[in-house]
Structure 1
Amino acid sequence: MMRLVVIGAGMASGRMLEQLFEAGFAGEVTLFNGEPRGNYNRLMLSPVLSGEKTYAQIVTHDDAWYAAHGVECRFGEHVTKIDRERKVVVSKRGETPYDALVIATGSAPFIIPVAGKELPGVCTYRDLEDTNAMIAASRPGAKAVVIGGGLLGLEAAAGMAARGAEVTVIHLMGHLMERQLDPSAGYLLQKDLERRGIRIHCTGATKAILGAERVEAVLLEDATVYPADLVCMAVGIRPEVRLATDAHLEIGRGVVVDDQMRTSDPAIFALGECVEHNKQLFGLVAPLYDQAKVLAATLMGTEAAFRPVQTATKLKVTGVDLFSAGDFADAPGREDIVFRDPGRGVYKRLVLEGDQLIGAVMYGDTGDGSWFFDKIKSGEDVSGARETLIFGPAFQGGAQADPLAAVAALPPEAEICGCNGVCKGKITAAVAAGAVTLDAVRVETKASASCGTCTGLVEKVMALTLGDSFTANANPPMCKCTDHTHEDVRRMIKAQGLKSIPAVMQELGWKTVGGCASCRPALNYYLISDWPLEYRDDRQSRFVNERNHANIQKDGTYSVVPRMWGGVTTSAELRAIADAADRYAVPMIKVTGGQRIDLLGVKKHDLPAIWADLNDAGMVSGHAYAKGLRTVKTCVGTEFCRFGTQDSTGLGIKLEKLLWGSWTPAKVKLAVSGCPRNCAEATCKDIGVVCVDSGYQISVAGAAGMDVKETELLCTVATEEEAMEVISAFVQLYRENARYLHRIYKWVAKVGLDWCKAQIADPANRRALHDRFILSQRIYQTDPWAELAERPADWAPIADLTLRAAE
């Protein structure tokens, strides 16, 4: 039985182990890793940094996976020596023998040799520890400097900016990502990042990092100084070859390997960012996964050879569409085809050499990237499509064709998912074998399971394979505990009179005992909504924020937001807030975008006491953590503003007092503007009211977060009383029909605004919806702070972490 030892539990070695086990490997595997954890998707550290994902969501191989495959995990244990003669590796726990050894030590970040580089507050961006350090430093108002405007540097900058830090990027070259982008695309990228509040300084050479006990600023050669609480160096990587060097293996720039990933020692192999093959290094995931496939075959005794292929680049920053592949440098004998649409921020450039496409740069519209990438890799003659080539496959032949033409034109080996190295053929094979939903394809192939930017392309491959039976996974099962959709569950709860979570799970055939962090909160909400008289809220089935009635922060403290009706407060309330902030040493007092005051950094054990103090001052919870009404934002209306047409402040207060405390599928934000000048920004809220001379225009389904969407007019009414009835009825319509965690704009897009209008336009139906809402409010409109401040010993259940990952 082969004794296989692997040094490094990264993505390359992880994929190699997957391939080995799929091929039936029956040997013993010992896996060392310097980090105290196993394989996770490092490509997804950027979404973790920005807050879009958690570490748990990017774990590729958990403890159960290693246990199921019999892998002995030695995580957090460094290998210090390879003894080639005795075929053992040496670590803190002693010697481990091997028959075959795999070196997958990856790369080490390059640290520029400037004064101050050792100061506390200087970090790199390679692993989870680096990511956590940047998260901890990215508090609102903190100043961060990123040295390096390449892929990693920009992802680090965007992530820290998303958390509120003031970020400056210093880049040595004349434009960002110069290895992947030409100057025009680099310019567009810079403008996009600057619109996000990130300062960009190109042609900037770092002279020194300044500070006494920790980093304080960065000094450039041109004497520019940028203040900094944190400095992230993202200027490049070098293969980590120290173990291999000490073992006297052949070393070039990396560990030299042959086509079978074998080093100069026949019993030792290497793969990943630490290797050099034919004088070439590799830093992107696609060739690393190819290496993993070849090495797995080699270890199984099957012939295979590593042949590097062209790779493409995408930037993992939400809202930035960027694609780059091939060679786009200026050179004699080459010609460019360029398309620009400044209004849409779209730029495309194709580089041809003779009759072949050799490079492509796309910004703002990257949908045809895979098709162009395939043309580059295949080296085919594109002279016949010269006039329409820039418009992609849908326009070949001179007219727009089937929208699936781009996917149909791709060969089976065309890469669809760059994060996981999944080709079109693997997806079509999985679909043919029965994976007919997006979730099933993700499980079988890992396509679209990481950053998600290829999801649309994966769905097109599925649509091409399944034909009319494909539904774009629009209505997947509620979770892995059941085959029922959210809509099925809601319908059967009502039809079968199911009035408890155990009853739902028993009658609807739940696959797991007790459910999971996805289905329990949804079931709890559906039962509250459908049976307000019979069902009582199960607090253990709520997210941690809702159970603790405050928003947990990244350092484990909480934010407390007292409610200010319509954004109006008094000097007494402000004194009470100031006194509470002093008494409990609140480190930050923040005015929110919803016209409220947020007390940030409250310790968990202080929550009941600070609630009690605010209650004593007449203030109640602002429900800033809830799936319910957050705020009603108002302008001053007729009382003070010369443009006001109605009393927007008064109506906002009445609406907030009517709606607060209601459970809804997702958070709800309202605004009331006193005139069409719209100072309260009512036209991007879940529900917005714009006051006009004739009354009140009520609009719904706006958004101003990751999606930006203007509201759509629901109706116009003449009086405040009508406005309040319409809005309460609409909220109840949403409560009774929407899928849990779907914001109003997603629900309206699903059911159609016309259907909503019809429900509200019928006076009897509208009144019935209003009455059902009021009934529910009579039961649930209570202040949780007042309830829990009276019994502090009971307010913090032991299972605080149970639902945090889902949140």
Structure 2
Amino acid sequence: MTTAQLDANTALKASFAKTPVVIIGNGPVGVKAAQLILEQSDYHHVAIYGEEQYKPYNRVQLSLFLSGKLDRQQLANPVSLKKSSRLTEYIGKRIVDIDFKTRQVIDQDGNTQRYSKLIFATGSSAFIPNLKGVNKKDVYTFRSIDDAHKLIECREQKKSIFIIGCGALGLETALAMKTPSNKVMVGVREKLLSRQLDASANTILRDRIQSSGIELIFKDPIIEINGSEKAESVVLQSGRNIAIDTVVICAGIRPNVTLAKKLNLKLNKGILVDDHMLTDEENIYAIGECAEHNGATYGIVAPGFEQAENCVNHILGVYSKYRGSVNNLQLKIQQHHTNIYGDVESEPDKVYTYTHRLQGVFRKIMVKDNRMVGYIAIGDWNEQVQIKEFIQEKRRVPAKRFKLFEQRGLVWDKSEVKSLKEQPEEYIVCLCKSVTRGELTKSMDAGNRTIDSLCDNTGAGLTCGSCKPLVAQMLDTPLANLVMRHHNSIFAASIISLLMIALLLLNQPIASSISVQVDWKVEMLWFDNFWKQVSGYTLLGLCILGGMLSVRKRVKAMNIGNLDNWRLYHSIIGVIALLILVIHTGFRLGNNLNFALMVVFLAATTTGSLVGVFMSKSHHWTDLKLRSHRKWWSRIHYTLLWLLPALLAYHIFVVYYF
């Protein structure tokens, strides 16, 4: 390099040192851009402006803060953990104007700041639907930490909360607002979360949400919020009027483009940008939720981080092109994750699905030209790492794999699935913080063996949280099962059944009474033919009703009502059947065929009760070996149930024949 070139380079560095890159917005995407500039350049200075009266915080995890799973300190999202002389932060300063000619931004107090490059990272604001009464008191949005504090207060004081919006934010808000002492309702226009969820997926997701105590109101949209000054009721399209004391609007977002519009930057839904995130004005960039690239705006944080990286590369002279981002939507319900990844909107060549209602599992793969382009997953799925890799690399998959997937829910055999631990060290686990598999391994070797400590030490999972299931894989941490409806009632019925079985086996047969004081004696239940027939046919009818659960599971035409309701009825029928059995037999086990029938009946109810105990408490038990026991008890239970009709028929035949 010549002396003249060195002098020019020195002058350029001095210019950047004197005139910083200015970032408007200190949300996660603005902070990410500032971090990248400071990390990748030794001479660029950064000035970042935040409109709120708080230091940068992670608004992506506000729902976890609202639910109490994160405290205020854990929500912090500083630009740098170490003080930097190249960083200037302005808190509570709103930029109201920009002078393009002099390259200056102006805040609400009239203070000015020159810039070398300017980045819009103004994010988005809550979309407010055009509803009558939407401006009344006790109607809230949820986009900021101030909103979160208000909602926390409401959660403790209010009794009936209505959520407008059934996307990821609406559902997470509903779950965070639910307490044992309040009622939370969510209005659902058509489908939960995404229009790409079919009926099976909606059913499974609905079960998960309702098991948390949330009431879902389908296909009856809100048209008005009633009340004199504050929200007192909501009116639905059907005319239904529901008394409430709080409304929370989570109906989507709108890019914050007020300042850009004032400055006549080119807009559509967001600020229009090219492949370098440049606007139509020289040296002005836009990233995150406020930016629109090739007709697309993004309401999640990961694309914003990718845009920040591309933008910073361009500022630092590395001319890569932004080609758009892959959608990756995630919702977490009771330790279970719902993921929508890749292209699930456009028309695929083929769609393959797998559903397991009992386990609360739904998986759907979209395929074009034998290449996976997107997927939807409800529940844990250990192939997601490999599937994402195939989608990103556009690798072909043999058609026979998808046929197997529809049968067993897995694309590959277990031996072919590459676990996260088998990925190379440079494999990026957390896109938000660029945390690699190797860094996680080193942190674990240093003693961080819980999800919280591993995430705190590496930064993985602290921004959007979507990589936490992968961190759990590193730790071999199993996730809890779905909470069953009526689990306490089913547990109680199962325990009562087991106690009655023990009583029947251990108690002595009831002897005949010698009393002659009354005409009708209790022992007639056991010795009188008429009463024996009454109890016997009652028992037969209960056995038939109990068997309907098995029919409900296997016959599509019987797919009526929630399966957990059927399980509750099945458990109650089992208790009643045991009581009738005592009346029918008088604690007598019988002989020969009768003894065989009694053994099969008691074995069927015993195994059924054990299955009921396990399933009602399975959300507390995460041991994988323990889970497998339930399958064996279920298989034995079903086998015994199918033996009962033949034995009962022969028993009735013998009784009448002889």
What's the TM-score bracket when you normalise by the shorter of the two chains?
Answer: 0.5 to 0.7
Which residue number corresponds to residue 351 of structure 1?
366
Aligned runs of 1:599-614 on 2, under 5 Å?
none
Match of 1:348, SS state, is strand
Matched, 1:206 2:216: no
Q: Which amino acid aligns with 1:6?
A: I
How far does residue 438 in structure 1 lie from its aligned partner after superposition?
Answer: 4.4
Greater helix percent: which structure? 2
The residue type equivalent to 1:457 in the other structure is: L
Pairing partner for 1:102 from 109, 114, 119: 119
- Counterpart Cα distance in 2 of 1:205 and 1:359: 30
Does 2:123 correspond to 1:84? no
Structure 2 residue aligned with 1:401, among 400, 411, 415?
415
The answer on whether the counterparts of 1:291 and 1:306 sit within 8 Å (CA) in structure 2 is yes
Tell whether 2:333 aligns with 1:317.
yes
Q: CA deviation at 1:442?
A: 4.1
* Aligned twin of 1:759: none
Map of 1:340 onto structure 2 = 355
Say whether residues 1:224 and 2:224 are aligned partners. Answer: no
1:68-111 deviation per Cα after TM superposition (whole angstroms, max 9, x unaligned) = 45432221121111121221111133222222211110011110
CA gap 1:352/1:29 in 2 versus in 1, 3 angstroms: closer
1:335 maps to a residue whose letter is K
Kindly tell me: are residues 247 and 66 of structure 1, through their superposed partners in 2, closer, same or farther at Cα, counting changes over 3 Å? farther
Question: Are residues 1:13 and 2:30 paired?
Answer: yes
Partner of 1:788: none
CA 1:329/1:4 → structure 2, altered by over 3 Å: closer, same or farther?
closer
Q: 1:708 aligns with which of 617, 620, 642?
A: 620
Structure 2 residue aligned with 1:280, among 293, 296, 301? 296
Cα distance in structure 1, aligned partners of 2:58 and 2:387: 27
Work out the CA distance in 2 between the residues paired with 1:127 and 1:30: 22
Q: Distance in 2 between matches of 1:441 and 1:24?
A: 29
Q: Is the 8 A contact 2:330 2:338 kept in 1?
A: yes
Residue 3 of structure 1: how far off its partner (Å)? 1.8
**Alignment map for 1:744-783 (pairs within 5 Å):** none
Name the amino acid aligned to 1:245: K
- 8 Å contact 1:368–1:392 — kept in the other structure? no
- How many angstroms does 1:378 deviate by? 2.5
1:361 corresponds in structure 2 to: 376
> C-alpha distance in 1, partners of 2:357/2:440?
40
Partner of 1:4: 21
Q: In structure 1, what is the equivalent of residue 197 of structure 2?
A: 181
Quick check: 2:278–2:285 contact (8 Å CA) kept in 1?
yes
Contact 2:277–2:322 (Cα < 8 Å) also in 1: yes
Map residues 524-603 of structure 1 onto 2, 5 A cutoff. none
Q: In the aligned structure 2, how far is the partner of 1:706 from the partner of 1:298?
A: 52
Does structure 2 retain, via aligned residues, the 8 Å contact 1:355–1:383? yes
Q: 1:354 Cα shift?
A: 3.3
Of 194, 201, 206, which aligns to 1:190? 206
Equivalent residue number for residue 428 of structure 1: 438
Q: SS of the residue aligned with 2:136?
A: coil
2:424 counterpart of 1:417: no
Q: What is the alpha-carbon distance in structure 1 between the residues aligned to residue 185 and residue 469 of structure 2?
A: 33
Change (3 A) 1:395 1:360: closer
Quick one: structure 1 residues 230 and 291, their matched pair in 2 at CA, closer, same or farther if it must change by over 3 Å?
same
CA deviations on 1:259-307 (whole Å, 9 max, x unpaired) are 2221111221111100011121112221111111112222222222222
Instruction: Please tell me whether the aligned partners of residues 83 and 247 of structure 1 are also in contact (alpha carbons under 8 angstroms).
Output: no
Distance 1:180 1:37 in 2: 38
Distance 2:118 2:622 in 1: 59
SS of equivalent residue, structure 2 residue 53: coil
Residue 270, structure 1, aligned to residue 286, structure 2: yes
Change over 3 Å in CA distance of 1:294–1:451 after alignment to 2: closer
2:320 corresponds to: 304
Counterparts of 1:223 and 1:445 in 2: how far apart (Å)? Answer: 53
CA 1:84–1:149 in 2, change beyond 3 Å: closer, same or farther? same
Max radius of gyration: which structure? 2
Contact (CA 8 Å) 1:50, 1:163: kept in 2 or not?
no
Against the structure 1 CA distance between its residues 286 and 69, is the aligned structure 2 distance closer, same or farther, given a 3 Å change threshold? farther
Q: Give the percent of matched residue pairs that are identical in Structure 1 and Structure 2.
A: 25
Q: Distance in 1 between matches of 2:303 and 2:316?
A: 20
Secondary structure of the corresponding residue to residue 262 of structure 1: coil
- Describe the shift of the 1:365–1:282 C-alpha distance in structure 2 as closer, same or farther (beyond 3 A): same
> Residue type matched to 2:459 in 1?
K
Distance across 1 between alignment mates of 2:241 and 2:426 = 50
Conserved 8 A contact 1:14-1:39: yes
Aligned residue identity for 1:32:
Y
Equivalence for 2:176: 159
Deviation string 1:692-718 (CA, Å, 9 cap, x unpaired) is xxxxxxxxxx9x99962599xxxxxxx
Residue 520 of structure 2: aligned partner: none
- Aligned equivalent of 2:269, options 236, 242, 253: 253
Structure showing greater relative contact order (alpha-carbon pairs closer than 8 Å, 6 or more residues apart): 2
Local SS of the residue matching 2:172: helix
Partner of 2:12: none
Task: Provide the C-alpha distance between the structure 2 equivalents of 1:85 and 1:395, rounded to a whole number of angstroms.
Answer: 58
2:390 maps to 1:375: yes
User: C-alpha offsets along residues 166-207 of structure 1, whole Å, 9 cap, x if unaligned?
Assistant: 1110122x2211245333212211122112211111222221
Residue 117, structure 1, aligned to residue 134, structure 2: yes
The alignment yields a C-alpha RMSD, in angstroms, of: 3.7
Tell me the amino acid that sits aligned with residue 352 of structure 1.
V
CA 1:373 to 1:37, structure 2 compared with 1: closer, same or farther past 3 Å? same
Unaligned 5+ residue runs, structure 2? 1-16, 478-487, 489-574, 576-613, 624-658
- Range moving further from structure 2, 98-107 or 321-330: 321-330
Amino acid at match of 1:103: F
Calculate the TM-score normalised by the size of structure 2: 0.65
Matched, 1:326 2:339: no
Query: SS at the partner of 2:70?
Result: coil
For 2:434 and 2:199, how far apart are their aligned partners in 1? Answer: 31
Q: How many residues align?
A: 472
Superposition deviation, residue 371 in structure 1: 2.3
- Cα distance in 1, alignment partners of residues 357 and 89 from structure 2: 53
**Separation in 2, partners of 1:438, 1:710:** 21
Counterpart for residue 167 of structure 2: 150
* Shift of residue 15, structure 1, vs aligned partner: 0.9
8 Å Cα contact 1:310/1:326 also seen in 2: yes
Which residue of the partner structure matches residue 448 of structure 1?
A: 461
> Is the Cα–Cα contact under 8 Å of residues 166 and 193 in structure 2 kept in the other structure?
yes
CA apart distance, 1:441: 6.3
Q: Contact 2:128–2:249 at 8 Å: present in 1 too?
A: yes
Any conservation in 2 of the 1:181–1:324 contact (CA below 8 Å)?
A: no
